[in-house]
Structure 1
Amino acid sequence: MAGTPRFDRDHVLRVSAQAFADRGYEGASISHLVSATGLLRGSLYGAFGSKAELFRYAYLHATGHTPHDDDLVLDLTVVALRERAAHDPTVAARTREVLTSLHQRTGSASDVIFSRLLRRAGVAPDPSPRRPDPQGGNIG
């Protein structure tokens, strides 16, 4: 049937979300997205219209199907905050929802996101810091 997409939309949105999370919006080129999804460039544009639309759909899909404290969602939210929310009201609205959900569950969305950024950078502090021992050693 002409005009009927012949691909798994959920799969395309999942791998696109991962590409955006890994590379950022600007860093995920159309060529990279074509390679990641396995779609032809024309099929990608035909199904999603633009890279901005693909990001929007991938972000909405990920945040609608995955807990908001999941690393993928946190990484996409950072990308949304840094590169897309100011230009896209739908992304901005979903970002507010994710941040509100994180805040309600954890008490501090900013702490959760900051912790994720530190883990991703490989500089996260030891999750169970040792307390100093009054005798000069460490207490585990």
Structure 2
Amino acid sequence: MARPRNFSEDEVLVQAAAIFARLGYDATSIDDLLAATGLQRGSLYKAFGSKRNLFEKVLAGALAPGWTSNPASIDLLIIALKELVPDDPPIAALCRRAVEEAGTDAARLLGARLLEHLD
């Protein structure tokens, strides 16, 4: 019989999103995620399967309707576009859908957020 989870998946996703947004996908290690979430390695892998799967869940949540008003969501989209989209069709599809839903605002939002990081 499997042990019940001793953590909130939603809270883990929030904590993981903060780490991915701060470090980027490539620079975030499993150890960074463990430290941020307080999970044990086995629990993280059992719940999410991999760092990539965890990022996909984080990104899907971040790109839910209304994402354009959340700077952290825009940051995660930028990270996905820069680091994962060229080699990851499911992540590319999430990004494409979000950008298409944002319409003409997408380029302005992404550009403005990139410029904010220069300050």
Same fold (TM over 0.5): yes
Stretches of structure 1 that go unaligned for 5 or more consecutive residues are 123-140
Consecutive unaligned residues of structure 2, counting only runs of 5 or more, are none
Measured in 2, the distance between the counterparts of 1:60 and 1:3 equals: 27
Distance 2:49 2:15 in 1: 17
Aligned to 1:133: none
Change (3 A) 1:66 1:48: farther
Q: Could you tell me how far 1:85 is from its partner in structure 2?
A: 1.7
Number of paired residues?
119
Task: Please list the CA deviations of residues 9-45 of structure 1 after superposition, one character each: whole Å capped at 9, or x if unmatched.
Answer: 0111111112111110011111111111111111111
User: Structure 2 residue aligned with 1:111, among 108, 115, 118?
Assistant: 108
Q: Partner residue of 1:135?
A: none
Q: What's the TM-score once normalised by structure 2's chain length?
A: 0.89
- Inter-partner Cα distance in structure 2 for 1:21 and 1:101: 22
Deviation at residue 63 of structure 1 after TM alignment: 1.5
Partner of 1:83: 83
Q: Aligned partners of 1:4, 1:88: CA distance in 2, in Å?
A: 32
Q: Once the two structures are superposed, what CA deviation does each residue of 1:113-140 show, in whole Å capped at 9, x if it has no partner?
A: 1110111221xxxxxxxxxxxxxxxxxx
**What's the RMSD between the two structures over aligned residues?**
1.6
- Counterpart mapping for 1:25-104 below 5 A: 25-64=25-64, 66-103=66-103
How far 1:73 sits from its partner (Å)?
1.0
Query: Bigger radius of gyration, 1 or 2?
Result: 1
TM-score, normalised with respect to structure 1: 0.77
- Deviation at residue 109 of structure 1 after TM alignment: 1.5
Give the % identical residues: 38
Larger helix fraction of residues: 2
Which amino acid is the alignment partner of residue 44 of structure 1?
Answer: L
Structure 1 moving runs of 4+ over 6 Å: none
Q: What is the deviation of 1:86?
A: 2.2
